[in-house]
Structure 1
Amino acid sequence: MDPAAKDAENVNRLPLRSLGLKPGMAMQTRRIVEGASKKESQYFGAIEGKGVMVGPLGADGAKTELEEGEVCVVRGFTGQYEYSFLTKVLQTFEKPFAYALLSYPAQVDARLVRQSMRIQCSWPTKVIVPADGGTPGAQDATLIDLSTSGAMVKASTQVAALGTSVQLALSVMVDKAPQDLCLTAAICHNNRATNEEAYFVGLAFKSLTPQDKLVLSYLTQSPQT
C-alpha cells in the first residue's frame, strides 16, 4: 500500500480537547494564500466552542503575522498525536502580549503516533556510545523529553549514526529517593537545531528490564523539575 494512503487510513476526526494540548506547546500556522510560508507558533489556550489562542514562538515574539479574517491551517505534535485543522483568524492582539484568536474547530484531523505520552523536561544526562558505534565514550547531553518507550536529547554532536545502540545514563528521583538509570536505546532520528549549534537526537528504548519500565512509568506520571 502507498505510504500516504496508509497514513490517511490512520487519521481520525477528534475533538480538540482530546489532544491534551498544554500552554507553550509548539505548533505551525500557515495562511491559505499563495506563497505563504509556515510560521512557528505556540499554543496559549482555548475556550471550547469559542476560540483558540496562539502566539509567536519565543519570549521575544512581537507579531503573530496573521490578520483578521484570514483562513489558516494549524499543524502540530502533542507528544502522542500529529494533528491539523483549518481555522479562521477572529482577532489579533498586541497587548498585553501578541496573540491571535482563532475560531474553535468542530474537530481536528489527528493521527496517533505514540501510544505513550512524553513529558517535557530538562535534565543533564550522558549518552554512552560503544566502541563500534562511531566516536566511543560518554557524551554530555540534555534530556528534553521522555516516555516509557523512548526519549529525545539535545547534544552538541549527532552522537552516532542512525540505528546505533547507545546507553542513556541519568539520575532521577523516585519517591524522593535517588536512582541511577542506564537504558539501552537505538538512535532513530537526528536533526540539526535551527538556531544554534546543536542536534536533537531521538532514542527508542530496547531490552528494558521490569524495573526500568516501572521507573519510567513513575517518571512520566509524576514529572520532575
Structure 2
Amino acid sequence: MDLIPIQTTDLMVGQPLPWDLFDQGRQPIQKRGYIFKTEDELKQLEELPVFRMEKQAPEQAEQATHSPEKTSFEDMHLKVGHKMHLTLATYSKNGSENNSCAVSMIGYVPDSTLIVSMPASDQLIGEPFIEGDQIHVRLITGQHAYKFTVFVDKIIRVPFKYLHLSFPKEIQGQSIRKSRRIKCNFPATVAEKSIPISITDLSICGAAITSTLPLGTLGSEVTLSFAIALHDRKIPLSIKATIRSAKQSAKKNQKIICTGVEYTGIKPDQVFALRHLIYQEIVEHPENVI
C-alpha cells in the first residue's frame, strides 16, 4: 500500500490524529488517535519525513464505521465522587490498556480543568503520574460508556493529593447493549449434579460454559452456582438457566463440552450485580468485552 507524505501543517494541536503515522521505511511513528499537546511536539516531526497509508486498514475502517458518537461534557451528567479510570497513553500505545487506576471526580471548571483524586499508590504501575502526561479516561454513567483523552496539568500535594487534568475537548460515548458479554474464567458448579464447570463468558441474559461432563439435554434446566468480585467484594450467585446449545470438542486429548445457557430464574438483585460487573469490566478491562 502506498505512503502519502504528511506536512506538519496537516496536523493540529489538541486534535486526535486521523491516521497512523509512519517513517519512510514504513516503521510506525505515532498511532491514530494520539493528541499533540504543544507546537514543539509537532516541530519535532519536521526533522524527518512523515507519511500515512493511502487507505485505512480493514480493521481501522470497520472501527471507524462503528466508532462511538461524540458528546459533550454536560451530557455525561457527572457528579462529585463519580468513578473514572485513568490509563497512561504510553501503556495504551503498547497494548496495555488494562493498566488502569481508579480515581474520583472532585469537580471541574468548564473549558478549564477537570479535578480528580490521586490514585492509590498500589494502583500505579511503574513511575507515578507527572505533569504533562497524556491520560486516557474511561467511565460509565447510566447505560453509556464514555472515553476521552486529557493531560496532567498540575499535581497538588498539599493539603491533600489530587490532580488537575486538562478539560476534555472531545468525548466519545457509546450505549451499552443489554446483551453485552464479557470474557471471564469463573469456577462454578451445576448444583443439581455437583458438576464442576467453568464460565467462559457471560451477560445479564446468559452464559457460555465449559465442562468435561454433559450438563443435560437441550431445554433442560440447571442451577449455576458461582461468585463474582465487585470492587474487592465477593458476591455469591445461584441462577437458574436453560440449556440452549451444546457441542463437544477435544483439547489436549481431553473431551470438552461447550454449553450455552439462558437465564430463566434470575432475580433483580442478581441482574444488578451482573450488570455492575459487566460495566466494571468495560471500564477497567475493555479487552475482555465481546
- Scaled by the length of structure 1, what TM-score is found? 0.48
- Higher RCO by CA contacts (8 Å cutoff, separation 6 or greater): 1
Q: Which has the higher strand share?
A: 1
Give 1 or 2 for the bigger CA radius of gyration.
Answer: 2
Q: Which has the higher helix share?
A: 2
